[in-house]
């Protein structure tokens, strides 16, 4: 759960943004897409795992 939340609020990327002179808005779309993909994989795994 916590790792999934870190994808949409990427405080871990702040040093890289400072070095690359990018703004958070430049990468926010990518973090939201990755959060949705990981969330879907996580949800499917939690639904299928008990039946294995």
Q: Report DSSP state, residue 12.
A: G
CA distance 6 to 15: 15
**pLDDT at 1 (0 to 100):** 63
1-43 pLDDT tens trace: 677 777 777 788 889 999 999 998 899 889 889 889 999 999 9
CB contact at 8 A, 17 and 28: no
pTM here is 0.71
């Amino acid at each position: 759960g916590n790792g999934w939340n870190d994808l949409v609020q990427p405080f871990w990327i702040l040093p890289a943004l400072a070095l690359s002179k990018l703004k958070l808005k430049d990468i926010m779309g990518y973090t939201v897409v990755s959060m949705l993909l990981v969330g879907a994989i996580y949800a499917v795994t939690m639904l299928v795992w008990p039946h294995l």
